[in-house]
Every structure is written in C-alpha cells, then in structure tokens.
Structure 1
Amino acid sequence: MEFSKIETLLEKYFQGDTSIAEENELKKYFSSPNVLPHLEQYKSLFGYFTQAKQQEFNHLIPLKSKKQNLNWLSIAASVVVMLGIGMYVYLNTNTSQNQDLGTYDNPEIAFKETQKALALLSNHVNVGIESVHYVEEYQNSKNLIFKP
C-alpha cells in the first residue's frame, strides 16, 4: 500500500471528507503490523474503534418498582381529603351559629339600621363620584395637550 495515499486519506479523515470505504482502508492499514513510525501515534485511535465495536454491555439493570411511590401518593391524597372534609365541617358549624344576623323583630330598629346602611353606602358612592371628577379633569387636560 502506498504510504502517500495513507497520508492523504488521513488528512481527508481529519477534515471529515472520507467515505466509509476509505475509513475502512485506514482501519485496515492501522491494524496491520507495518505502520510507518511517524503515523504510529494514530494506531491507537483506529485500534480503539475496532475494539469498541466488539464490546458488549452484559450487566443487568435493576428496575425500581413504582409501587412504593404509589403507596405514599395514596396516603398523601387521603390526608388531603380528610383535611378538606374537616375544614368544611369546621367552617360550616361556625357560620351556622351566626345565621340570624341582620334580622330584627322590631320594625323601628330595622328601619334605623337600614338608614345607617344606606347612609354608609351613600358616603362611599359620593367618594367614588369625586374620583370620577378627577378622571374627567385628566381627560380634558389630555385632550388639550394631544388634540384628538
């Protein structure tokens, strides 16, 4: 085999331009005993490929069972459901004691309480209307500046 041809094939190999047949030719050359001394450093590279090709993985991989994870998940879900039911019962028993709020037997007291509630509502509506005046003033100022 021509040594100059091997050197050119080696250059093509490192540039990534070789075909599979040319790579097989390089592997065949570097597996032979008569390799040029200055190319001896590449012998281990091509020897590795043939050696790695022959290796097989024979170890067994133990599979983890997911049954234990499902047990913990079901326990956690049960705890969440029980807490939810407990909170629902607790909140409903507390609010059932306060269901008579807002009912009056005396019509005069009911009328006065209604007037208080409507006065409070009126005050809050008036505050809201004052805010609308500020928005209208802003809109007028914006229209003066940007002229639509």
Structure 2
Amino acid sequence: MELAKIEQYIEKYFEGTTTLAEEKVLKTYFSQDEVAPHLRAYQPMFRFFSEAREEKSAREFRLRSGRKRYYAWFSVAATVVIALGVWLSGGPSTEEKEALLAYEETVQALYMVGKNLNKGANKMEYLNEFEAAKNKILPPENK
C-alpha cells in the first residue's frame, strides 16, 4: 500500500470522513508487522479495534419486552393528562377577564383625554393671537 495514501486515510479518519472501505484498508495496514516508523503510534489503536470487535460476552442477557409495553402506556397516559390539562384550563379566568376589561376601558379613557388635550392645544393659538392684539391696543403692564 502506498504510504501517502495511508497517511491521507489517517487524516480523513481523524476528521471522521472515511468510508468503511478506507477504514478496512487502515485496519489491514496496521495489523501487519511492517508499519512505517512515524505511523507506529497508531498501530496499537487499530489493533485494539480489531481485537475488541472479536470479543464476546460470556454472560447471557435477556431482554424484557414487558417494559416496553409499560412505557407505551405511560406515554399514552401522560399525553391524555396533558391534553386534559390544556382543555380544562383553556379559557381565561374571571380575574383575567376583569383585568382585560379594565385595561380596555383605561385605553379608551386615555385616548379620549389625549384627543381633548389636542383640541385644547389648538385653541391655545387663538389665545396667543388675542394676547398679541391686546398688546397692540393696550400697552403691556409694568411688572
């Protein structure tokens, strides 16, 4: 195997972009006794992966399928409880309704006050004109 290709595969391996075929080439290369001196540090790692794949457990494990059924029922029950909670608390409470009504009435009152203030500000122009005309006719008083 070409050494440059192995180095390229190692770089891709540590980036996580190798294919299964490239990883197989790396495992085959590092299972040999003749490995380039600057790549010998990787040899124990790839040998470990090959040996660990062959290991079998002596202990027998049984899978309990009953627990899956319980988890399914628990998830259904939780969904029903959440749906009922949302459905029962769907509308606003009487306090919230009263607060919303008070808010709307306050907004209307403030709007009316603002509208009347604007009318009053427009009338102030007439007062300024009146004051100017009065000052032309009567001399200003000494203060």
Tell me, yes or no, whether TM beats 0.5: no
TM-score normalised by L of structure 1: 0.41
